[in-house]
Every structure is written in C-alpha cells, then in structure tokens.
Homo-oligomer: A and B are copies of this chain.
Amino acid sequence: MKKYKRNQRIGALMKIFAERPNHLFSYNYFCKIFNAAKSTISEDVAIVKELVSELSFGRIETISGASGGAMFIPILSIEEEKEILSQLCSLFSQKNRILPGGFIYMTDIFNNPNIVMNIAKIISSEFSNEKIDYIVTVETKGIPVSLMTAQKLNVPLAVIRRNNKVMEGSTVSINYVSGSSNNIQTMSLSRRSLKDKAKVLIVDDFMKGGGTCKGMADMMKEFNADVVGTAVVIETKEPEKKLVDDYTSLLILNNIDAKEGIIEIEANSKLLK
C-alpha cells in the first residue's frame, strides 16, 4: 500500500477538513486513508491545528481516546468579515440594480456560489458556539445562503414551501401576515423535516417588517423546535421595529433613491466588535 509524506498528509488533511467543516473525523478514518499509524496521524493533526490557528482559519478541535478524532471549525477574523461586508456593500449598491417600483435586483448575488459562501462564512462564524440541529429557511431566494450556512455548520437544511406540495408528504401549514404589505400568506413544512425539540437557526435573504421570519418562528412552535437565532443578509432600516426581536443582519439598507439611482447600504456595525 502507498505511503505518503508528511507534507502530503498535511495537505490532504486540510482538504478533507475544509470540505466538511464542523464534522468530527475519527483518527481511524485518517489512518485508513493514509495507511499510517495513529501516532503519526495525531502528530499531523497537531501540525494542522497550529497552522489553522496561525493563519486565522478558525480552530481544530481534537477529542482524545479510542473514539477520538478531530474537527475543523472555521471562524472568520474581524478583518475578513470587514472585507466581505465591504465587498457586499459595493455589490448591492451598484446603481443599475434599481428596478421599477424602487426594488433592488439581487438575484444574481444570491445565486453566486462564491458570494453566498462568503455570506455563509460570516453567519456560521457568528453562530459557531451555538448548538444547532437545522437551518430553516423559506423558498426561494434564501435557499443558496441557507444551504451554504448548513454546509459550513454541518447540519441539514429544512425549506419551508409557499405552497403545499404532494411530494412533501404530510405537512404543517400556517398563515402569517407579511409585515410590510399586510397580506395574509401561507407557508408549509413537511412533518418529516425536523426531529422533535430541534434547535434551529432561521436564515433568510431579506427582512423588511419581519413578518416572514415571525412566520417561520411560529412554524417552529408547531414542531416543538427551539429557535436559537435568526440571521438575515439584509434588513431595511425602516420600519425600525420589526415583528421579531432577536435577529442578526449582515447589512442595513438605509435608503433607495430611485430618482438619483443611489442605494445606501452599510455593514451592520454590531457584527464587527
């Protein structure tokens, strides 16, 4: 069987960790891949641990003992968060994004895997100390951000549908009031989506009145689930009072001046401390 050099094992370990953050890999798993003794792997992991810390990638957590293993927990530095948020502000405030009716075209941003991954890195960093079982979102535009956040936190995603679908099996449906438009809408979620007493992080792309997030929180009550946090990519400054109290936003949309073609958006300063 092939043997690998330390250099090669370090590189391979880092790839495996990076592709599946927050997952506990057993030392035995690595022993098999590298055809190496546990003591060797354990030294390799120590080197990876140091490099992850020195390069500010986050941290490696190790668990010792027979069933021991290691896990990579990516955490962004404040500098990286600042850089990502400032890139996002530039992107979202591009003049040509203003649509008739004073809306902003954001679809391309929320469907760009690299941008979405950067957003997910921030959200998952912010919630890296929480015990989370599921990410919950509502279709459609928030799905990519939510999926990438779920990937970073190594948990499944549950997608609430706007309509009842036959392929979802038995579902729970609720009516909710859209905070900004006062319309009554329906959302439904498959009964099989969440286990009982799950801890969930609600993720969405945009919050104005907060009605959708409030609806999702209400839905969670039907599933006996505990909402440990709510994260939205953009919140509007107005209305200041949202229908949910406890949420984290990455960006704040202060104003859209459709006539002048100016979108005023800024990083949420609460994040950067």
Establish whether residues A19 and B20, one from each chain, have CB atoms under 8 Å apart when the complex forms: no
Q: Which of A20, A106, A141, A166 has the most B CB atoms < 10 Å from its CB?
A: A141
Stretch at the interface among A6-14, A232-240, A256-264: A6-14
Say yes or no: is A95 at the interface (Cβ < 8 Å to chain B).
Answer: no
Which residues of A (132-156) have their CB < 8 Å from a CB of B?
139-141, 143-144, 147-148, 150-151, 154-156
Say yes or no: is A4 at the interface (Cβ < 8 Å to chain B).
Answer: yes
Say yes or no: is A223 at the interface (Cβ < 8 Å to chain B).
Answer: no
Establish whether residues A11 and B8, one from each chain, have CB atoms under 8 Å apart when the complex forms: no
Say yes or no: is A54 at the interface (Cβ < 8 Å to chain B).
Answer: yes
Stretch at the interface among A110-118, A210-218, A242-250: A110-118
Contact with B along A165-178 (1 / 0, CB 8 A): 01111000000000
Establish whether residues B106 and A156, one from each chain, have CB atoms under 8 Å apart when the complex forms: no
Establish whether residues A8 and B190, one from each chain, have CB atoms under 8 Å apart when the complex forms: no
Neighbouring B residues of A107 by C-beta, 8 Å = 159, 167-168, 190, 192-193
- Copy number in the complex reads 2
Interface of A: prevailing SS:
helix
Establish whether residues A166 and B111, one from each chain, have CB atoms under 8 Å apart when the complex forms: no
- CA A39 – CA B147 in complex, angstroms? 39
Least CB distance, A36 to chain B, in whole angstroms: 13
Number of interface residues of A (CB under 8 A): 63
Establish whether residues B156 and A112, one from each chain, have CB atoms under 8 Å apart when the complex forms: yes
Given contacts A51-B8, A107-B190, A190-B105, contact A15 B57 (CB under 8 A): yes
Given contacts A151-B114, A190-B107, contact A12 B157 (CB under 8 A): no
Say yes or no: is A161 at the interface (Cβ < 8 Å to chain B).
Answer: yes
Neighbouring B residues of A10 by C-beta, 8 Å = 7-8, 10-11, 14
Given contacts A140-B143, A140-B159, contact A47 B113 (CB under 8 A): no
Say yes or no: is A273 at the interface (Cβ < 8 Å to chain B).
Answer: no
Say yes or no: is A48 at the interface (Cβ < 8 Å to chain B).
Answer: yes
- CA A150 – CA B143 in complex, angstroms? 14
Neighbouring B residues of A190 by C-beta, 8 Å = 105, 107
Least CB distance, A40 to chain B, in whole angstroms: 14
Which residues of A (56-78) have their CB < 8 Å from a CB of B?
57
**30 A–B contact pairs at CB < 8 A?**
A2-B54, A4-B54, A7-B10, A7-B51, A8-B54, A10-B10, A10-B11, A11-B48, A11-B52, A12-B55, A14-B15, A14-B18, A15-B17, A19-B117, A103-B166, A105-B169, A105-B190, A107-B167, A107-B168, A111-B156, A113-B154, A114-B151, A114-B154, A116-B147, A139-B139, A140-B140, A140-B159, A141-B167, A143-B144, A147-B147
